[in-house]
Amino acid sequence: MKLSRRAFLQLTLGAALLPAVSHTASAQSYPNRPVHIVVGFTAGGSTDIGARLIGQWLQERLGQSFIIENRPGAGTNIATEQVVRAPPDGYTLLMVGPSSAVNATLYDKLNFVFLRDIAPVASLTRQPQIMLANPSLPAKTIPEFIAYAKANPGKITMASAGVGSTGHLVGEFFKMTTGVDLVHVPYRGAGPALTDLLGGQVLMSFAGLAGSIEYIRTGKLRALAVTTAARSEALPDVPTVGESVPGFEAGDWLGIGAPKNTPAEIIDRLNKEVAAALADPKIKARFADLGGTPLVLTPAGFGKLLADETAKWAKVIRAANIKPE
C-alpha cells in the first residue's frame, strides 16, 4: 500500500511527537509507584534525617511511598554512581551535599562527572560549620585566635571527621585566607573528633552545629564563630568568621538531585513540593533542630550553587594538596 505524501508526513510528525507526549503523560501521573531517595551515609546522621523529613512530606503530598535507601561508602561516591546509572524517570533521587562538590576534585578517577550526570532538583537547607575551641585555648575571638596561631605556628591541633570532610576543607580554607599554621588531625568520624576536642587532646575544630550546640551552651566548648555569611539563629551571639576575615564564607548545605535527562516537568514538580515543605513551620522547625535554615532555589539556582561549590573546593583541595585516605 502506498501512502500519500500528506499521510506520510502526518505519520512521521506523530512518531516524532511520541517521546514528548510520553514524557508529558509520565510527568502528569508522577509518581505512580514508590520513589527511592539514595543517601550516601549511614542512617541517623543529619543527611539521613533530612532525607527522611523531606521524604515523609513528599509521601504525604504526592500519595506514594518515598523510600530512603542508605548506600554509604567511598565518600558518597557509591550512592552517586547508583543514581547516575538509574533510569531518568524521577523514581531514583539522590541526597546531595558538600561531598558531591568536593569529590569531583578529591578523587582522580570516578565513573561519573557529577555536574554533568546529576540534574539539580531542589535545595533544602544551608548549615554553618562552627569554629570550636577547647576552653584551654586562650583565644576567645577570631582576631585573638589568629594572633595566637601566628605567635605559635604549628602548635594548634585541628580535629576533623576525616580527610576531605567538610570540617577539614573549611579548616584548610581558613588557613589559606588567614595565613595561620594549624596541624590537621583527621579522625574516622565526627564523634571521635568531638570526644578528643572535649578532652583537650586536640585544641580546635570546624564542626557541624547539630552535634556540638549543647556542648557550647554548657560551656564545655567555646564557639569562636560560625562559617556562614550570616549568623546562626540558634547562636545569635556568635559572630561569623567573615566579620573578622572579609569574604570568608563556607558551610554545609543539603539538596536533591536526579539522573541527567530526568523530565523537566518532574523536576519542576518536585522543586515546588520541596519549596512548599520549607515554608511549612513544622518542617522548618525540624530542620532548625539540625542546625539548618531553609534554602529555596530553582533547579537552575541550585545548579549554580553546585557549580560554584565545586570550583571553590577544587581550589582549596589543590592548594592544600589533599588526597583521599
**Phi-psi category of residue 291: left, alpha or beta, with phi > 0 → left and psi -120 to 50 → alpha:** left
Regarding beta strands 156-160 and 222-226, do their DSSP bridges make them parallel or antiparallel, or are they unpaired? unpaired
Angle between helices 209-217 and 190-199 (to 10 degrees): 20
CB 117 within 8 A of CB 86: no
Which residues, at least 6 apart from 315, have a Cβ–Cβ distance to it below 8 Å?
none
Structure confidence at residue 19 (pLDDT):
52
Whole-angstrom CA distances from 315 to 74, 77, 97, 187, 309 are 21, 20, 18, 23, 10
Structure confidence at residue 175 (pLDDT):
97
- Alpha carbons 153 and 183: distance in angstroms, whole number: 9
Bond prior to 236 in cis (omega within 30° of 0): no
Structure confidence at residue 42 (pLDDT):
85
Q: What are the two backbone dihedrals, phi and then psi, of residue 255, each rounded to the nearest 5 degrees?
A: -160, -170
Give the H/E segment covering residue 153.
none
Please classify residue 130 by burial: count the beta carbons closer than 10 Å to its beta carbon, then call 0-12 exposed, 13-18 middle and 19+ buried.
buried
In the chain, what are the domains?
A: 33-127+251-320 (3.40.190.150), 129-243 (3.40.190.10)
Helix, strand or coil, per DSSP, at residue 118: strand
Three cell numbers, residue 207: 564542626
Per-residue pLDDT of the chain (325 residues; tens, 9 = 90+): 455 555 544 545 555 555 544 445 466 789 999 999 999 988 888 889 999 999 999 999 999 999 999 999 888 999 999 999 999 999 999 999 999 999 999 998 899 999 999 999 999 999 999 999 999 999 999 999 999 999 999 999 999 988 998 999 999 999 999 999 999 999 988 889 999 999 999 999 999 887 888 899 999 999 999 999 999 888 999 999 999 999 999 989 999 999 999 999 999 999 999 999 999 999 999 988 888 899 999 999 999 999 999 999 999 999 999 988 7
User: What type of residue sits at position 117?
Assistant: D
SS (H, E, C) 160-202: ECCCCCHHHHHHHHHHHHHCCCEEEEECCCHHHHHHHHHHCCC
Give the DSSP per-residue string, 216-259: HHTTSSEEEEE-SSS--TTSTTSPBGGGTSTT----EEEEEEEE
Helices within the chain (DSSP H only) = 5-29, 46-62, 77-84, 98-106, 114-117, 142-151, 166-178, 190-199, 209-217, 264-279, 281-289, 299-320
Structure confidence at residue 21 (pLDDT):
46
CB 267 within 8 A of CB 118: no
- Alpha carbons 75 and 240: distance in angstroms, whole number: 28
CB 50 within 8 A of CB 125: yes
